[in-house]
Amino acid sequence: MIMRLKEIQKSRDFFSRTLDLTVVMPVVEGIIAEIKTQGDEALRAYTEKFDGVSLKEIEVKQDEIEAAKRNLDSDTLRCIKEASTAIRKFHYRQKRVAWLDEFAEGVFIGEKYMPFDVVGAYVPASYFSTALMCVIPAKIAGVHDIVVCTPPGTDGNVDPYTLVAADLAGATRIFKVGGAQAIAALAFGTETIPKVQKIVGPGNVYVTVAKMLVRDEGVEIDFPAGPSEILIIGDGTANPAFIAADMLAQAEHGAKSKAILVTDSERLAAEVEQKIKAEAGSQNWIIIGDSMNECIDFANEYAPEHLEIMVREPMDVLKQIRNAGSVFVGNYSPVAAGDYATGANHVLPTAGYARLFSGLDVDHFMHRMTVQWLDKAGLEKIKDVVVKLCKVEGMEKHARSIEVRFSSDSSD
């Protein structure tokens, strides 16, 4: 469906795409309350109800992982390992290291980064690539316990690719639970599942609501997740076949996924429409703007999860991008490549959250502290400023704590 950008802009709904969480809220509140008070018993009951299986064991055992590895064909294993290596390389590059600089003579200040002790990763059923994306950055950050929850099939088993991927990536323990009940278990702990400090990973609306609710009780989360989406900025030089293929790929994430082309080229719009119309659902939009600047402004306002730039000078457009989860530049950077194997993370903010949140990265698994180290000469140099400002703010004893270090009766 081709529309004019001017028409779209009259419709605030198109931009806002606020997640409607109110419908599932009471259900999720009930699940959380039960897991919190009844632990594993409630976890088993919900797994029976939602996943259709009565679990013998909640935790995946080492021999299940070994069996999954043995049964995996060697070519798939090689590909998972190659993707892991690329993801590891990129995320190592992100990791920040402690530093301490001398900002004035004798005044050293710096930062120290520390991993969380224990985190939870939620992996939707059979998304083994998401297991890599959640666990590898946690491992590189240095997180000690990386707990994975992923829903079981009706046979009580977890997808073997997910097992192998999570294990290769460095997961410490893997549990066969999914949905809001998994999030509640990670947030509060059960007899079997340890309580974590932070929960990451995408999920459906139940999982997202559960993450938002447990955040109020002191468990951090990466960010709320909505349906996956792509926005493509294209001009008259773009290849319509590439754009059509990338838009159609997006639809594989489900009926709520949106694919949007925004272009200043009537011809490109028509050609892409021609290619997708046979398969297009309501999730595909082609929008024509009066100028490339108008298209870029729209992209920034929309803040898409995935943004592809297919124009004559893509780097010029990249410079103007302010809000997106990940930006794919040029004709040979399809989202699918980044979903699996470039090394970048595919767990990204959706639903406009890219204005506020950053995609999953090593930083998500660490906290920072500042380090301040002054020698006597350094403190002496800033003494007058500190004492003066303490007194202006009415902090006499703060001032005294500086002065005592230079008074003859108490210094060492």
| Rounded distance between C-alpha atoms, residue 410 and residue 412, angstroms | 6
Q: Indicate whether 105 belongs to the interface with its own copies (CB under 8 A).
A: no
Q: Which is nearer to its own copies, 267 or 376 (CB)?
A: 376
- Single out the residue of 252, 278, 293, 350 in contact with its own copies (rule: CB under 8 A): 252
Which one is catalytic: 64, 229, 271, 306? 306
Q: Cβ 45 to its own copies, closest distance in Å?
A: 28
Q: Give min distance, CB of 143 to its own copies, in A.
A: 12
Residue 337 in the binding site for its own copies (CB under 8 A): yes
User: Would you say 182 or 341 has its CB closer to its own copies?
Assistant: 341
Q: Does position 393 bind its own copies by CB under 8 A?
A: yes
Among 24, 83, 171, 196, binds its own copies (CB under 8 A): 83
189: exposed, middle or buried (C-beta count within 10 Å: 0-12, 13-18, 19+)?
A: middle
Residue 154 contacts its own copies per CB under 8 A: no
Q: How far is the CB of 48 from its own copies (least distance, A)?
A: 26
List 61, 89, 267, 277, residue binding its own copies (CB under 8 A): 89
Tell me 202's DSSP state: -
What backbone torsions phi and psi does residue 340 show, to the nearest 5 degrees? -120, -45
Contacts 24+ apart (CB under 8 A), 20-25: 21/205, 21/208, 21/209, 21/212, 24/205, 24/206, 24/209, 25/209
User: How far is it, in rounded angstroms, from Cα 313 to Cα 320?
Assistant: 12
Annotated catalytic residue, options 91, 305, 346, 364: 305
DSSP class of 195: P
Q: Is 305 in the active site? A: yes
CB 263 within 8 A of CB 235: yes
Contact criterion met (CB below 8 Å) for 229 and 350: yes
**Considering the rule CB under 8 A, would residue 125 count as an interface residue with its own copies?**
no
Residues 298-317 that bind its own copies (CB under 8 A): 314
Active site residue 398: no
75 interacts with its own copies by CB under 8 A: yes
> In the range 180-209, which residues lie near its own copies by CB under 8 A?
197-198
Burial class (CB in 10 A: 0-12, 13-18, 19+), 253: middle
Q: Is 134 in the site for its own copies (CB under 8 A)?
A: no
To its own copies, the closest distance from the beta carbon of 377 in angstroms equals 9
User: What is the rounded distance in angstroms from the CA atom of residue 337 to the CA atom of residue 70?
Assistant: 27
What amino acid positions are annotated as catalytic residues?
305-306
